[in-house]
Every structure is written in structure tokens, then in C-alpha cells.
A and B are shown apart, each in its own frame.
Chain A
């Protein structure tokens, strides 16, 4: 099989490429250049975007003996990931750029170009598992080096499922869910079965890959120094406004409401403590009036979440979950942060984009609604990615439009 290994310059993607080579595939390494003006990106060796990272990726490809190319996807990255990041914040929502990058760059621009050039699959260093099942529902091998493409092209009844990594700490199924089933058919996650990062580093060291000891990356790659408010201010402009409490009293000021996120507690810059002495959180971001509303923690608790543009690997209720009699609600779990804890919910699909309190637009773009079945959830912000799980399996994904207390 012809496999394109996306190589960021980090240890994970280097080992993923190595495993694809050792599985007997015809592998080509590709490093994605995501910024034309590379000075604007973080320097150093902690992410995926510096010249040093490109050099590390090239060196790893050399060690593996595979061809290596740099693909310039900077314009697409700017048009999709960065533009979405800015417009979402400008609209008072909280985007996840890694989700958008997987959606538009890794599993769209890169995958489509690879497919057009004759590659059968794209291998990445993500921590997630692809489980293949035949029509009878028997689980196949998750496969260390993956077996992408077998299902996509072979027809028959083989089904591919996206599952969590057994390494809960590194699991990236949350940010991958957006790709949907068609793209999963051409994806390969050779690190899917790994249970620890140390194991990956050991595999890298065993192969003489010099990136074996390279530090992990955590920050948003295009935000220098991790200073998101500063980045937003540079790109969106300063827009001073007021911070008010839930009664409308002005309690502080800010440089732009867009830089705040529902659930945020730090960095509010409120001079005086609240009258009752309790911690205050951002409970609403009103970009129209450029106002940030703060209030006590309990105002953040919600038990209903609506989300738009649903992508399903498997519709809830198809095969599992127990619907209430005569109900369209199905049991599942919801996760709303990359490293959040999944919570038990009931979920149902909506025929159009859902809004707050059960409203559904007549736009024909399917969405989903979730109701919490145990404790409420705190700090759900519009723009976040809502991923629906059943056990380790990803069922679907959608983008939060509203959350409220029923």
C-alpha cells in the first residue's frame, strides 16, 4: 500500500512513519508547512511549525530511508484554521483549532492531495485506534500499523470504527472525531495500540531517531508564546468594553470581549472582589454589546447542550443504547474538551441546526441535542467540539451552539 506519513518533526509521527515502513508499506514522508512567514510561528522545538521541526522531520525520514517532501499548506491553513479561530472568537465562541486542523488540513487538504497523487492512506502519529468489524459485528485487529484502505476500497461489509487510545492521557480521539467515516477509511494511526508515551520514545530510540527525547508540544502552534489574548488583539484589534455582573453592574473593563471564554476564571482583571467574596467566572460573552458577564460558578452548570453540523460514524441507537419507550433519545457519553471527562448523557439527532431550549432551525443541516442524565456539566461554551462516545467508540461529533439549564 502507498502510505503518506505526515511528519511534524515530533517523536510520535516519526515512530508512526517507522511502523508504517516496517509493516511493509511504500511510505513517503510529508511535512506540512503551515506558515509562509515562519518567523510568526513559535520558534524552538516544541511544536510542528518551526524550521527546526521541518529539519527534524527530514532527518527522521532519512533515517527511515523514505522520500521526504514539504507541502506548503500555509494558505489553506490561514484560510481555514486561523480564519475560523479568529471569526469564532470574534463571534464570542470558543474554537478548537486542532479540531479544525484535522478537519480541513490533515484529513482534507493533505488527504485529498495524497489520494489524488495515488496514495492509499495517510498515517499520522495520533493516539487513537481504528477497529475494523465485519458485518456480523466481530471486532478485528486494531493493528499496530493499521490497515487503512482495506475497508474503504474492498467493499463488502467491513466497517471501521474510531476508538479511544488505551493511553487515556494521550488519547486524541476527541480531536479526530470531526473527520467522519469516509476519511477514516483512508487514515492510519500506527500508534493506536501504544499505552504510553515512554513506549513510543523507546521505539524511536531503538530506531536511532534523534527526536526520541524531543519535548511534547501543547500550545496552539500558530500562537507565539501561547499568548492567545495577545494574538487575538493583534489580529482583531483592541476593542475596550465593560465587564458586568449578572445584575448589570460594571465591575471592570477589558480590551475586547472576544478574548474571553465562558467558564474562564483567570485573567479577568477585576480589581475588587465580589461583594459576597466568591470566585467569579465568565458566564456570558456578548460580542454585539462588547460585554463580558461574570457570575458565580453555579451559573455555569448546564444540563442541555445543542450542537450543529453533526458528523456520525454510527448513529446513536444503531445497534446499542437503550431508547426510552417511544423516545428518540439514546444513551451515550459526551465529552466537550480534549482532555475532559466523558459524562453519561442521552442524545438525539435534530434535522436542522439546533439552538437554545429546543429550537431547531429549518436549514436542513443536521445537528444533535444532548441531555445530561446525572450531574450537570460546567463551562460549556459555544464553538467547542462535542464528541459523542459509547464506551471507547466515537459515535459522532458536532459543534456546540448553545447550552442551558432546563
Chain B
């Protein structure tokens, strides 16, 4: 039912770049377990280690700091659980985990799992109305409980509203107390400048499929002095912290994608920001009631200092609508976007990110996220803008008849 379709959901996943695909196919056509000592094994090993070096160089890390995983969720789980267990082993008092209230579920859920199963205490650090971490709250929390904190985890940039977090400030505050910091940089790499060493973080999550690489591969960059217990046990690969036969084709393609994304990031950020600004302006014209969520894009975004918002992200709430209506109507018009929030069996839940930002639940229901990437064009944005006016009008009519609280009719 869609003719030329406009893909505006790069924060969900991106098309694989031709270079990454070529690397994947080349490696997948060979036999070899990187742990084997014979020649086939050595060839696989060489591919993986070259990928490790390339990825480390692109992200400002040392090769020995790269732990390959099966994606961002696994890397986040390893960081949260591994550091919690590692820190608690040397100091049983350290049971507190500080996380921002707008983290991805891949960080929040392992933290709350630890709370339910391993005696962890979770502190959700508040954010402001734009989704930016409240540093004063972090400072106060550290001042009060520094001796009990196992780790702090604050994402580099938010996946829903694109807010870039003050990670360096978080590191500075946490390190004053000797507390390690993890950051989920899944959405940031390739969109903004990300340098592991320069940032000072102790662990950083990156994944392949958000930046032109394959699905199912990612990495945790972890400083060698970070206490980190294994989550996956087995053959002892990856410093014994992450067992499992290394996925040479995925890893090689991942490294190619990361190198390209980082290499092209400065120009891409400028181009994406320009497209995004046109999108934001157009959405506001199409529906004057639409509310941009997250920081206002600034003209100098991407140049010089770190931008407040990811250049490829635009996020709106459309009052009086429901996200699923908007998604359906846009999909019918050949435009693919997202409500941005997690689903449970496809049931739309109000976004915890928007709620943490103080957005009322009713408004949070009518959320749409548009995310741009390497393959985005002006035509994609134009397709959205051409459809949006009528889409919002219809969704609003549907919201009137199916909303939970019918005007005057609620019981």
C-alpha cells in the first residue's frame, strides 16, 4: 500500500551501508573460529582484531578496552550487572545504582532486576523539561550516599527526544567520589562527536545497527581498571568477561560502519541538522498545536560545542491525538515514523521519558518521533509534510471519539 516510502525511523534501525554489507558478506563466506589455532582460525582472529583496533581508534579507546557483544542491550546489561557485581565484591556496601529517569529500558530494566534479585537500590535521577539531567540532583545524591554507590549510568543522548546529556559533568561529579560512570551512546555515535578517553567515562555502549552496521552486534568499551563481572560465562572470550564465539562477519561489518560513521560525522551532522530544522519548521506549519519535545534545535548545533540535541532527531506531541492513529495514517501515506516509546506486545505505553520530563500522560499519548540518518533526503521530509496536516486532523477526530475520557461523558 506504500509507493515511494519515506523512512524516518533511523533511531530504530538504519539501512546497512554498502561498505558494511560488503565486509559482512566477505567474512561470512569464510570458515573460521577466532579461537581456533589453525590457519582458518587465525584468519578469523585477524579480522576480529583488526576490527577491534579500527573500532577503538574511531571511538578514542584502546583495543583492549573493546568487548564485543550481541548488541546494545547486552552491552548495557553487562555494564549495569557486571559493574554492580564487580564493585560489590570488593565493597559490599556499594548497592546503589544511580541512573537517569530517561534511560533506555536496556539500562533501566537490568537495574531494577538487580533491585529485585540482588539487593540493589535504584535512584532515578530527575531531568528537566527538555529531558536534560538535573546535575544538582546528582550532586546531592552523591554527597549523601557516595559510599554506597556502585555506579552511575547516564546515556549520551536520549533515543526518544534526542537530548544530549552532560556526560562530562556527570563524570566529573562521580569521579570526585571515585564512582565509575557508564554511558549508553547507542544513539550518539555517528550523530555527535563521541570520544571514549576524552569523555572520561568508564564504560560506553555502542551498537552496529543504529549507524549503518548489522543487527545483532555491539560493544561495551570498558576501562581495564573497571571492576566488571561476567554476565555470559563459557569459553572465556573477551577477557573472560563475555564468553561466546566471536561473530567475525558481524564484528568486521560493525567496525567498518563505525569507522565510516565517525569519519563522516562532522559533515553528516550539519546536513542532518539542516534537514531536521526544515522538518521541525514544516511540522509546526502543518500543525500549529504540535509541541516539540526535547531541546529547541539551535542554529549552531553541530558546529563548535556539543549540540543540545541530536541533529537527526525531531520529536513532537500532537494534542488530542493518539500515537497509534498517527502511525497508522502516516504508514498509509508511505511515511514510516515511530511513537518513540517501548511497547509491550505492541500495546502503546505512555513514554517514561516524556513523563519524566513532566509531560502530562494525555499529551504523551500523542507522540511521534522522526529520526534522520545517512540515507535521509529532503524528499523524505517533504513526503511527511505533505501528509501530516490531514493525518493530524484525522487522528484528532479519532481521538475525540475513542479517547478515554469523553468530553462530559466520563464516569
What residues of chain A have their CB less than 8 Å away from a CB belonging to chain B? 26, 28, 31, 33, 36, 38, 51, 54-55, 58, 67-73, 75-76, 79, 83, 109-110, 112-113, 115-118
Within 8 A of A (CB), among B320-336: 322, 324-325, 327-329, 331
| B402 with A73: CB separation less than 8 A | yes
30 contacts between A and B (CB under 8 A): A33-B345, A36-B347, A38-B344, A54-B345, A54-B347, A58-B346, A67-B328, A67-B331, A68-B346, A69-B324, A69-B328, A70-B324, A70-B343, A70-B345, A70-B347, A71-B324, A71-B402, A72-B322, A73-B402, A79-B411, A83-B411, A109-B402, A112-B401, A112-B402, A115-B401, A116-B397, A116-B400, A117-B325, A117-B329, A118-B329
Query: How far is B347's CA from A51's CA once the two chains are assembled, in angstroms?
Result: 9
B401 touches A69 (CB 8 A): no
B328 with A113: CB separation less than 8 A: no
Bound CA span A112–B398, Å = 7
Q: Nearest Cβ distance between residue A111 and chain B, in whole angstroms?
A: 9
Question: B1 on the interface (CB 8 Å rule)?
Answer: yes
Report the Cα distance A373→B272, complex, angstroms: 78
Please tell me which one of the listed residues A54, A109, A110, A117 contacts residue B346 in the complex, with CB atoms under 8 A apart.
A54
Q: Which B residues fall within an 8 A CB radius of A?
A: 1, 322, 324-325, 327-329, 331, 343-348, 394-395, 397-398, 400-402, 404-405, 410-411
A113 and B346 in contact, given A69-B324, A70-B324 (Cβ under 8 angstroms): no
Q: Are A70 and B402 closer than 8 Å at their CB atoms?
A: no
Name which residue of chain B comes closest to A73, CB basis. B402
Chain B residues with CB below 8 A from A72, complex form: 322, 324, 347-348
Chain B residue nearest to A66 in the complex (CB):
B1
13 more A-B contacts (CB under 8 A) besides A70-B345, A113-B325? A38-B345, A54-B345, A55-B345, A58-B346, A67-B331, A73-B402, A109-B402, A112-B401, A112-B402, A115-B401, A116-B398, A117-B394, A117-B397
- Is the pair A117, B410 in contact by a Cβ cutoff of 8 Å? no
| B329 smallest CB distance to A (angstroms) | 6
User: Within 8 Å CB of A83, what residues of B?
Assistant: 411
- Please indicate the chain B residues that have their CB under 8 angstroms from the CB of A28 in the complex: 328
Find chain B residues with CB under 8 A from A70 CB. 324, 343, 345-348
**B394–A26 touching, CB < 8 Å:** no
Q: How far is the CA of A112 from the CA of B400 in the complex (A)?
A: 9
Chain B residues in 8 Å Cβ range of A71: 324, 402
| A33, A54, A113, A115: residue with the most chain B Cβ atoms closer than 10 Å | A113
Q: Chain A: which residue is nearest B405 at the CB level? A: A75
| Contacting residues, chain A, for B343 (C-beta < 8 A) | 70
Distance of A118 Cα from B398 Cα, bound (Å): 9
Chain A: minimal CB distance from B324 (Å): 5
In angstroms, Cα B325 to Cα A70, docked, is 10
User: Which residues from B are CB-within-8-Å of A68?
Assistant: 346
Instruction: Return the 4 tightest CB-CB contacts between A and B, nearest first.
Output: A113-B402, A75-B404, A116-B398, A70-B346
Could you say which of B345, B398, B410 has the most chain A C-beta atoms within 10 Å of its C-beta? B345
> A330–B329 Cα gap in the complex (Å)?
48
Kindly state the separation between the CA atoms of A110 and B398 in the bound complex, as whole angstroms: 10
Closest to A55 in B: B345
Chain A residue nearest to B395 in the complex (CB): A117
By a CB distance below 8 angstroms, the chain B residues around A75 are: 404-405
Q: Closest approach, in angstroms, between the C-beta of B344 and any C-beta of chain A? A: 7
Known: A116-B398, A116-B400. A31 touches B346 (CB 8 A): yes
Interchain nearest-CB distance for A14 vs B (Å): 16
Contact indicator B402/A76 (Cβ below 8 Å): yes
- Complex CA gap A240/B154 in Å reads 55
**Known contacts A69-B328, A117-B325; is-contact A79 B410 (Cβ 8 Å):** yes
A117 touches B328 (CB 8 A): yes
Task: Note all chain B residues with C-beta closer than 8 A to A117.
Answer: 325, 328-329, 394-395, 397-398
Tell me the bound Cα distance from A288 to B402 in angstroms.
36
Beta-carbon contact of A116 and B394 below 8 Å: yes
